[in-house]
Structure formats: C-alpha cells, structure tokens
C-alpha cells in the first residue's frame, strides 16, 4: 500500500455502490495499465519503477488464461480496479502455485472493492485446480495484510530490504494460502508459463 493513501476514513462514494466483478477483456487493457502505472509511479506495492507500455500490457493480459484469470471491478461502467492470479514460476513443478495481485484507483480504495476482488480470486482458485496461492506484500501495507489474513492467508516469511524504491530499502513479506483441492488436481495444469505477477 502506498503510505500516502493509508487512511481508513475514505469519503463515501454513495449509499448504493454497485460493483460488478468480471473477467478482463482486451478492451480493459488501457484501464488496467492506467491503474497499475499510477501504482508504479506513486507507491511501493509494486517494485516496477517504469510504467508498463501498451504493448507490455497486452502481452501481460494475453499470458493469463481461465486458470490464471484477470478480474476487473466495474463501477458505473468504468474499470476502477483489477486483480489477477499469475503463474508463480515457469518451472513445471510449480504449476499448482499462483500469485495474487490487486490494485484499485486511489479514489476507489477503502470501499470494500479490494475485498470483493480478493474474495473472488480465492473462490476461483479451487475450480482452477490450483493448490497454493502466494502473495508478496511490500511493507508497510496494513490494508493488504489485513485483507489477505482475513481471507485465510498466513504470513510465512519475511524478506528484508530486498527492494529499493523512492530512495529507501523495502521489506517484502510472503503470504500463503492453501487451496483445498482434491488430490492430484494441482497436476492438471496448462504447462510451462512465465511469471507474470505484480506483487513487489
């Protein structure tokens, strides 16, 4: 979480905030990139330091599939946030492991949309045949840590000062959630994939 927006008291977006969560399409690429690139420029949640190009964004979305979905949150017809399950590694034995990422427009944070996105990702992990979800969370990020822990993720490791952004060293904590799949389900994957996650 970027520290500039760490307040729990966010102005109301109205009494009946209707949020639709759906899979992303190619038409969502500009909105996804705009949200991500704002986080690249202004926060420590991602360790990218250069904005993602339009071509890079298209390639990123194309590397995701039904098993590794990208979801968008839509409010009044506009994409205000996104979340993804990305392959953790291209090494075959990691096939049942995916990494969680989620980002919201700054003005839409603190209204429960992040929780909706993360809940939906977790729900989709079981039918996808995934075995483990991982999240790398750059510290401090009390909101992201709270949401992950409340949805069953457990802090399993701390990597000290592995990142440097905005002229400071940044710790990354690793969180894990086991997916209650049936035996062998995690072996029914789609083959070798490149890592495409955006956790720090």
Binding site for ligand COA (CB under 6 A): 1-2, 6, 8, 39, 43, 45, 102-104, 109-115, 135, 137, 141-144, 146-147, 150, 199
Beta strand pairing status for 70-75 and 154-165?
unpaired
Query: What is the rounded distance in angstroms from the CA atom of residue 56 to the CA atom of residue 33?
Result: 9
β-strand partners of 166: none
The distance of Cα 79 from the centroid of its chain, to the nearest Å, equals 15
Rounded to a whole number of angstroms, the minimum distance from the CB of residue 10 to ligand COA is: 8
Tell me the backbone φ, ψ of residue 139, rounded to 5 degrees. -105, 145
Structure tokens at 190: 């789609």
d(CA 144, CA 115): 9
Q: Which is nearer to ligand COA, 94 or 103 (CB)?
A: 103
> What's the angle, vertex CA 87, arms to CA 85 and CA 92, rounded to 5?
150
The minimum distance between CB 46 and ligand COA, in angstroms, equals: 7
Chain residue at closest Cβ approach to ligand COA: 114
In the complex, least distance from residue 157 CB atom to ligand COA, rounded to whole angstroms:
15
Closer CB to ligand COA, 8 or 191, in the complex: 8
Q: What's the closest the beta carbon of residue 83 comes to ligand COA, in angstroms?
A: 8
With respect to ligand COA, which residue has the nearer C-beta, 69 or 114?
114
Instruction: Give least dist CB 182 to ligand COA, A.
Output: 29
User: Toward ligand COA, which CB reaches closer, 65 or 149?
Assistant: 149
CB nearer ligand COA, residue 45 or residue 85: 45
Least Cα distance to 44 among 174, 175, 164 occurs for 164
């Amino acid at each position: 979480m970027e520290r500039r927006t760490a307040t729990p008291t966010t102005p109301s977006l109205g009494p009946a905030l209707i949020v639709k969560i759906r899979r992303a399409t190619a038409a969502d690429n500009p909105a996804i990139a705009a949200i991500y690139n704002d986080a690249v420029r202004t926060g420590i949640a991602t360790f990218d330091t250069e904005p993602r190009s339009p071509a890079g964004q298209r390639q990123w979305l194309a590397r995701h599939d039904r098993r590794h979905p990208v979801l968008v949150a839509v409010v009044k017809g506009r994409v205000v946030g996104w979340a993804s399950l990305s392959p953790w590694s291209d090494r075959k034995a990691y096939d049942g492991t995916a990494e969680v990422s989620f980002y919201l427009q700054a003005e839409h944070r603190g209204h429960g949309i992040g929780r909706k996105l993360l809940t939906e990702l977790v729900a989709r992990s079981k039918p996808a045949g995934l075995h483990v979800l991982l999240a790398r969370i750059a510290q401090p990020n009390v909101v992201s840590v709270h949401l992950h822990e409340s949805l069953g993720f457990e802090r399993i490791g701390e990597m000290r000062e592995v990142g440097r952004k905005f002229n400071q060293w940044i710790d990354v904590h690793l969180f894990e959630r086991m997916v209650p799949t049936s035996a062998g389900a995690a072996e029914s994957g789609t083959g070798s994939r490149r890592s495409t996650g955006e956790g720090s």
